[in-house]
Structures are given as C-alpha cells and as structure tokens.
Amino acid sequence: MSVKNKNSLPVRGNVFDGRVISAKAPKTVTVLRDTVHYVSKYERYKKSRSKVKAHVPDNFAVNEGDVVRIGETRKISKTKNFVVMQILQKAAEKRLIEDIKEEEKPKKKEDKK
C-alpha cells in the first residue's frame, strides 16, 4: 500500500512525527525521533532517539524547531529515505504557545530580608 503526497513521491512503509533539528542543506532536513519502548524484563520504559534525513518538497518551507510528519519512500540519495509529508506545528507557533503558558502561571513572591 502506497500513499502519494502532493509531489507524487510514493510513501510506503513507516510514517513518523519528529522535530526538525537541522535545515541547513538545500531540500534536506534532519528530523529527531523520540521513541519510548517497554522492556518487560526490567518492567521499565527505555527512551531512544534517532536522527533521520528527509527530503523537503518545493511547496514546504521547513525551519529548525518545526514538528513534521515524514514518510518512508524510495532512496532519494545515499542517506535520504524519507520525505516530509506535512508540517504539524511551526516553531514560531510553539514558542508563542509556551510564552502564553508562562504568562498564565502565578508568579512567586520573593521574600524581602
């Protein structure tokens, strides 16, 4: 089963959400994936991270800090196997939401000595 995105690159296999940590190369971004895996032997959860290079189609403007959805596709280059399908949250919007949450928090009163 393959799904085509807007640029007709067939997406097959895995689809992940991640945060863009580098957008320096042209038409390429580095996406950081955080995963949590349950280890039954220790009855604990193990956190792991992986960095994946993804192709950015011409109709997307992706910057560092954006949260994107990437899908597996054919090999585009030596290291690129994924393509950006959707921008879930822009970095500027994320910072704005965090600023609003900080303003809503009650401020602590400092003791005068």
The confidence score (pLDDT) of residue 10 equals: 86
Please report whether residue 109 resides in a domain. no
The confidence score (pLDDT) of residue 4 equals: 57
Separation between Cα atoms, residue 59 and residue 63, nearest integer Å: 13
Query: How does pLDDT run along the chain (113 residues), one tens digit per residue?
Result: 556 555 568 888 899 999 999 999 999 999 999 999 999 999 999 999 999 999 999 988 999 999 999 999 999 999 999 999 999 988 877 666 777 777 777 776 666 66
Please report whether residue 81 resides in a domain. yes
Please report whether residue 15 resides in a domain. yes
Please report whether residue 52 resides in a domain. yes
Please report whether residue 64 resides in a domain. yes
- Residue ranges making up the domain that contains 100: 3-104
The domain total for the chain is: 1
Please report whether residue 70 resides in a domain. yes
Q: What CATH number is given to the structural domain containing 91?
A: 2.40.50.1000
Please report whether residue 45 resides in a domain. yes
Separation between Cα atoms, residue 86 and residue 68, nearest integer Å: 6
The confidence score (pLDDT) of residue 41 equals: 96
Please report whether residue 113 resides in a domain. no
Task: Confirm if 20 and 31 have CB atoms less than 8 A apart.
Answer: yes
